[in-house]
Structure 1
């Protein structure tokens, strides 16, 4: 008994297999994790270093270069990029895609920790973060109030954060957009000078008294006990009573030279929700959990928490990623219903029973595909859903052919069992060949290298699994059902629908076919040539890009004022953007972030660190229209471009690996001044190229810094060491962190020593600074130093351990990104580059090269595989080439 005959003759095992497949599909559908984006690990890490009071040149020399040199010694490093601004250095290191992300994280952490003692001691924070798509916030809340204090909002935000952490499926939660508290010690420099106490001594004493070193363990009888020493500060009075000096029997405590109290750190991140003052709380989901179920648990926890929120504070659920997932799942259900409807209409000529048999293929094949991705460890996300939608148009082909051939044998007079067996056996090779060509077409996508390959791999695997399922169903399940259900209809000519269809074919299609067959050469030339010409004409109309837009109902408005702008100046630009966005009827809500990027809400979105000249709006729409929304956003861009002295861009979310812009040109060279000159020329060059917009040059505008020039000879004569001078200035302007204070709830706050000035010191603070001398006197700063203005770089970028500057540009509407990039490259190649300077292309061009660098061999293998299958199928090269002519004709349908 042949394999094809077995399910027809032995229906019991076939029926059991049928029910098992249904049960497997239901089990997979219920238990498969649901996420918006596929989970995959990336061997890329972000090292953020904050060195308060340092300019970009100092941070580059003291922090960035040592870190780069140390990390470059690791194996399999793909790239190192660094961005340095005032106070902050961000080093991004990426390893080859084949490396183990966890192992590389350990290596980066080990090397960074080994380097830490040689870095400046004034570093306030050194943080290593994984770049993981899984660390995307699935919810973002806003606590909104115009009257509540930030202390009240902070306490509520921390409480909500802790509440969300207890929810099953939540990985972690964070609170944002409020000034962090600090334990401030405000000292009187004049009084310290009278006591002959320098800032350095005070700082050292406080650090020493707040240290908490474990003494070890002691055995007592049969038990071991951990021995604790004095430990860190536990109350403000302990800080006030700290002895900082003792001379001639007189003890000087902190309370004798200053005050100790709670205060807010300087403003660097302000949030608003729909234009109202707010703080934010976010949470992200653990891997392998169903986002819809986690969302329901979060909703329950939030409902309980909302009972303790005062009436003057509103808790707004501003962002919910599960809505996008639910929308995509609903779309899949709609596509499934449409597919079943179209199949039923298409198969009416074969009869209602035949149509019903074929429609069984759709849920069964989807069940097979869903079970396959579930057991392979994938989730139900936007790419698996796209794979299922794509497969819907392919999975019924085999079953249609089988059912039609069985129906034909029934009309020829065979019994149902014989018709099912002979009808299937007659076309089994054709079905296998057709399915094999489809599988070969998708195989190259499974071996794409780099990050893009990891991201997109689940899509072809979904299609391949579903098509394989449809093949098995068409060869074994469909013949079994047909042998039990199908009946001959309409005699040898079929039913009335089929007869009418054949009449139309005879009347219209047959003459056209005979006409074409009589002129084979002309027909081939017109069909193939016309298809190619139509395709070429349609490409500019449709447009192209390597990674398509996500079509999610949300976007970002990024605002950047000139470097050196105050937070207030940036806020003015932000409020202008808020006004324009709020006027759009399509807008549902928006988060405003002043001085910081919005928390991460998309897998390739990299939030910006603290910057006084940066703001960001995260806008959510009521719905996304592929036709209407891009036009509305273009209108918004035009309105925002009216604002002077700020770069305001509207960015839609795009699939694929993270890139700063579709077009990015890195200019590499040693000298900052030359890089700035070249960057301005290249910026003008790119602006002139048709199709570019939102051209950004970080070195377009120079900045001016204030520099204190110390009269060293005079300072030495008056007994003021340079170190004491620097510490006095630092205390007065930025303050010096001397440790952490741990509250009873476990939260830690910085202990900062500074002089009595406002949160945002201005130029007048320099007039109040007095510097202690060895003689016990305090001298005004103006007696020892003078102010000078100097030109300084706004930002220092480094690529491949060399200085660089990156010019970014977006592409207008449906313009062909590849074509615009080619025009940019042509102009760059014509540009007279000075010796020692060159450009490196980034953006989509770089990402595309990386993503498809290894796919050429796989594509060739797939092409030869398809060719071999067709040759085996037809036994003739000529027939194979004739079949392959459908490829250029099919391109027209694709556009």
Structure 2
């Protein structure tokens, strides 16, 4: 190590050029590294959506859900296979192990679904496989609002805007939401069909045959070959109306004889509004590796140009803009960084002006190298990576402080600058290397944490590791070079006035206290042990959590009506919520959706698929005011609770991987009636537990349906083909796209056959439906006996078993862990029938998996650190002395969490892991110097006291700089990284104070009497 320092000092030209290059690379990386709000990582989860109109829940489970699950379940690495089946729609979620390749697993699911597709019911109108990826979160959601504008014109404008946005460099995909789809409607006259004894399927088949482009063969003319085919798509409405349905007995029946052909708006299944006005939403997501600010600039330039082409009655409203959240987060963190830099500078005053300048130059160089590594490893500059750099700020100067302070000490001994730089670095190099190695080993396992939590925070340890490793390199190369040229040759042996005052205080106060502690070392260690036990006793009162709310100025309101409710009723509830939201202060925009979830605008929340009973409102505020905004949301919840017959949940966005809800209890068993009964009991327990709110029981209400009661014997006698009844009824009630109409501009529109919109869902319409039979059309009433039946609103499955999950959220002021434990205590007394069992989901399930990974990381870090210590000291006893500092930091960390009110969250545990490395790093400095003094012949007790006094200043400075660097993070109020900073600050305070007495006492008790 001394050779490296000697080379850097003597070959100073090379050292200067090397670090100039590294600084330039750092600046270049900082300017070009992508910026994002949150980390981007693939989620190994695949969604399969199947839509079979008219199918009831139980039939759909049997015909679609079960076969799909059976095919998918053969794949490897599946950790959870869940499904939700309701009237006409089945959604299957496949979660793979986080170590699996997300893209490869998606391809495997697509392969299995395609393989089984031919065996599924022919009436499936949609079978789609979707992937999850945080990078596909929309960075923008705008709205086109039209007053008195036709649906066709608004859709064309939206199509134009989507095409424009798609062409912006860096945009992955743009989508349209909530448009009123335009169709060519063939509205059946059921009475006329009855007169002509024609089934509705005859009209559908005629239009399908006429509208199909079918190759008929080929003709050769000389050396040319021509394909012969009939024209396919319809070009005019008259072509459709003139299509022949039947020609018999000299009479031709055309479509116009039994139906009206017109332009019409499709039945709405997604109603969108912007601040109360009917709208169409357009969203865009970005390609990986893009800079959100550059992308916003290019996209908004395109929006501005498009807006200038709009007529006065269409407005382009800019709603959600992710770059605003990113800018606010980054500006806050950069502000914290600047404050931390100033605090670190203040803590270096005892070193003197020149020494402080040497140490301060290590900061930009280390950070430049760290940013370069972050960029070239493919990470973005997001809230986690910047928090890592802020955390590093208090750590990266440690090595430079220790080296600079030791060089200055050698200068005060009368050595030349070059000799002091080389000898001072050589003396401390091994200890510095060991110290930094322990710190790196504390953070290294965090890079390999399993589950989504590990993926979410990965950029934090990468930024810390890169920056701290760079600081070691800088401390052993650049610092000796700078010290040899900047530090004064004539250092005052007593140091500057600040140093004299600090050293005087250490000698006057610390030395006598240390002397007394060494007189009774066993008592000293016992007192520290009791304090440690007392701090552990605080854990139940502190509580556990996973990740905190995101603290962004947006929130989501989800509205659910009972199954079977029409879209009009859902929209009525959505309008009520909109009116209540308008009463809130600081509302910037309100984006309402009825019949569909809001487009995905946060990485861990996906929109609900088409569902007429569901609504979602995305609300943007001018700013998030912490407790004040939280109180406003509580008031809003109270007002929304007054709406009858709807489940309305106000959700703030949460950090971390996706979870179903903070509180979730899953009941598994074979029979739906038993599951419903048990779900009611569990729901009562959760609702009766203090701290729970918005409890959702999906089996609370049954669904009422109309069973046609088909008489299969009669149908067989009359020659009604299998499946003909289903198709005829579906055509009449739901409609069917039977052909395509192509306009001159190239746009395609579906030709949809259905009964007239008005009154087509009334019961008496069934009397007009006819189905094909052997002797002609057969009235549906001749083979059916309609009657009402009740059945499950939906069927959920968990790993191929029927299940029901009761979810809930935590009320303001309550800890999720405590509420979950209170619910669990009551559930333990619930008697379950044979074959039924309970499982805990939600945050508790995710936390247990994430904390299990953290436990492994802690073990790896501990064993790695122990290995380094044993390698350095070659003594188990000395290693135990160094490691004995760990409980001392835990004392302060626990007290800090208790005082600040933070829970033992995922990031707080990471703070404890980091604290272990920092503590041991400081402890090594003391123990290593004590051993050096003993090797020089100093008696044991005298060596302990001298080392404690000499090493007090560098340990104090490194601790204070770390505290100063972390103080802005701790005081910033962020639920994500403030607990981490609080743990480290509290731990460093207790460790710095107690270890000055406890570590010497342990050394006196355990250290070998002889040293090599």
* Cα distance between partner residues in 1 of 2:106 and 2:722: 40
Q: Structure 1 residues 762 and 591 mapped into 2: Cα distance closer, same or farther (>3 Å)?
A: same
Matched, 1:551 2:551: yes
CA distance in 2, matches of 1:212, 1:79: 44
Partner of 1:161: 162
Aligned position for 2:865: 866
Look up the SS of the partner of 1:48 in the other structure: strand
Give, in whole Å, the separation in 2 of the partners of 1:611 and 1:352: 68
Match of 2:881?
879
1:740-759 Cα offsets, whole Å, 9 max, x none, are 4455555543322112232x
The answer on whether the counterparts of 1:732 and 1:765 sit within 8 Å (CA) in structure 2 is no
Alpha-carbon separation, structure 2, partners of 1:47 and 1:836: 29
SS in 2 for 1:272: strand
Rate the CA distance shift 1:225–1:848 in 2: closer, same or farther, 3 A: farther
Shift of 1:292: 0.9
Partner SS state of residue 148, structure 2:
coil
Find the aligned partners of 2:384 and 2:215 in 1 and give their Cα distance: 51
- Assess, with a 3 A threshold, how the Cα gap between structure 1 residues 533 and 37 changes in structure 2: closer, same or farther: same
Q: How does 1:319-338 map to 2 (within 5 A)?
A: 319-338=320-339
Provide the residue aligned with 1:587 in structure 2.
587
Residue of structure 2 in register with 1:653 after alignment = 653
Question: For the Cα contact (< 8 Å) 1:659–1:843, is it kept in 2?
Answer: yes
CA RMSD of aligned residues (A): 2.9
Contact 2:152 2:181 in 1 (8 A): no
Q: Which residue of 2 aligns with 1:118?
A: 119
Q: 1:846 to 1:251 in 2, by over 3 A?
A: same
In structure 2, do the counterparts of structure 1 residues 404 and 182 end up closer, same or farther at CA, with 3 Å as the change threshold? same
Q: Matched residues in 1 for 2:398 and 2:628: separation?
A: 35
- Post-superposition Cα deviations, 1:236-270, rounded to whole Å, max 9, x if no partner, equal 33322322222234333222321222211212211
Alignment of 1:647-686 (within 5 A): 647-686=647-686
Q: What SS does structure 2 have at the residue aligned with 1:230?
A: coil
Q: Equivalent residues in 2 for 1:678-697 (5 A)?
A: 678-697=678-697
TM-fit CA distance, 1:507: 5.5
Q: Which residue of 2 aligns with 1:384?
A: 385
252-261 or 871-880, larger mean C-alpha shift: 871-880
Give 1:149 deviation, angstroms. 3.4
2:976 — aligned with what?
Answer: none
Cα distance in structure 2, aligned partners of 1:770 and 1:692:
50
Long gaps (5+) in structure 2? 897-981, 984-1012
Residues 148 and 313 of structure 2 are in contact (CA less than 8 Å); yes or no, is this contact kept in structure 1?
yes
Aligned partners of 1:679 and 1:7: how far apart in 2?
71
Deviations 1:517-559 (A, max 9, x none): 5554444444443355346437645x53122322222221112
* Superposition pairs of residues 280-319 of structure 1, within 5 angstroms: 280-319=281-320
In structure 2, do the counterparts of structure 1 residues 352 and 130 end up closer, same or farther at CA, with 3 Å as the change threshold?
same
1:400 equivalenced with 2:381 (yes/no): no
Alpha-carbon shift at residue 126 of structure 1 (Å): 1.4
5 Å-filtered alignment, 1:471-486, equals: 471-486=472-487
Which residue of structure 2 aligns with residue 343 of structure 1?
344
How many pairs align? 893
Q: Residue 449 of structure 1: CA displacement?
A: 2.0
Q: Could you tell me how far 1:676 is from its partner in structure 2?
A: 0.9
Structure 2 distance, partners of 1:454, 1:813, is 28
The more displaced of 418-427 and 791-800 is: 418-427
How far residue 636 of structure 1 moved from its aligned partner, in angstroms, is 3.0
Unaligned runs of 5+ in 1: none
Residue number in structure 2 paired with 1:801: 800
- Is residue 50–residue 87 contact of structure 1 (8 Å, CA) maintained in 2? yes
Question: 1:361–1:396: 8 Å Cα contact kept in structure 2?
Answer: yes
- Cα distance between partner residues in 2 of 1:352 and 1:290: 39
CA deviation map 1:134-159 (0-9, x unaligned): 21100000122443333332222221
Q: Which residue of 2 aligns with 1:701?
A: 701
Q: Do the aligned partners of 1:448 and 1:852 also contact (CA within 8 Å) in 2?
A: no
CA distance in 2, matches of 1:96, 1:223: 58
Superposed displacement of residue 490, structure 1:
6.7
2:222 & 2:461 partners in 1: Cα distance? 66
Do the aligned residues in 1 keep the contact of 2:667 with 2:675 (CA within 8 Å)? yes
Q: What is the distance in 1 between the residues matched to 2:356 and 2:536?
A: 35
Q: CA deviation at 1:24?
A: 0.8
In structure 1, the residue matched to 2:12 is: 11
Say whether 1:367 aligns with 2:368.
Answer: yes
| Bigger mean CA deviation after superposition, 764-773 or 156-165 | 764-773
**In 2: Cα distance, 1:563 partner to 1:348 partner:** 69
CA distance in 2, matches of 1:721, 1:501: 98
Name 1:609's counterpart in structure 2. Answer: 609
- Cα separation, partners in 2 of 1:301 and 1:528, compared to 1, 3 Å: farther
Q: Write the distance in 1 (CA, Å) between the matches of 2:623 and 2:402.
A: 40
Q: Does the residue aligned with 2:156 lie in a helix, a strand or coil?
A: helix
Note closer, same or farther for the CA distance 1:157–1:776 as it changes in structure 2 (3 Å cut).
same
| Cα distance in 1, alignment partners of residues 96 and 800 from structure 2 | 15
Asked whether the 8 Å contact 1:199–1:724 carries over to 2, the reply is no
**Structure 1 residues 386 and 626: alpha-carbon distance in aligned structure 2, compared to 1, 3 A threshold:** farther
Counting only pairs closer than 5 Å after superposition, residues 172-187 of structure 1 correspond to structure 2 as 172-187=173-188
Equivalent residues of 1:592, 1:618 under 8 A apart: yes
Q: 1:840 maps to what in 2?
A: 839
Residues 261 and 517 (structure 1), Cα distance of their counterparts in 2 relative to 1, 3 Å cut:
farther
What is aligned with 1:435? Answer: 436
Cα distance between partner residues in 2 of 1:217 and 1:841: 66
Question: How many angstroms apart in 1 are the aligned matches of 2:791 and 2:817?
Answer: 36
3-state DSSP class of the match of 2:395?
coil
Shift, 1:425, TM fit: 1.5
The two structures have a TM-score, normalised by structure 1, of 0.93
Find the residue that maps to 1:38 and give its secondary structure: coil
Contact 1:190 1:777 in 2 (8 A): no
* 1:751-770 pair list within 5 angstroms: 751-758=751-758, 761-763=760-762, 766=765, 769-770=768-769
| Greater share of residues in helix | 2
TM-score (norm 2): 0.83
- Which deviates more, 639-648 or 119-128? 639-648
Asked if 1:152 corresponds to 2:146, the answer is: no
Answering whether residue 567 of structure 2 is matched by residue 567 of structure 1, we say: yes
Q: How far is the alpha carbon of 1:19 from its aligned partner? A: 0.4
Which residue matches 1:889?
891
Aligned match of 2:109: 108
Q: 1:658 offset after TM fit, Å?
A: 1.4
Task: Quote how far apart the aligned CAs of 1:109 are.
Answer: 1.8
Flag the 1:178–1:299 CA change in 2: closer, same or farther, 3 A. same
More deviation, 512-521/60-69: 512-521
Does the residue aligned with 1:3 lie in a helix, a strand or coil?
helix
Cα distance in 2, alignment partners of residues 380 and 650 from structure 1: 30
Tell me whether 703-712 or 649-658 shows the greater mean CA deviation.
703-712
2:499 corresponds to? 498
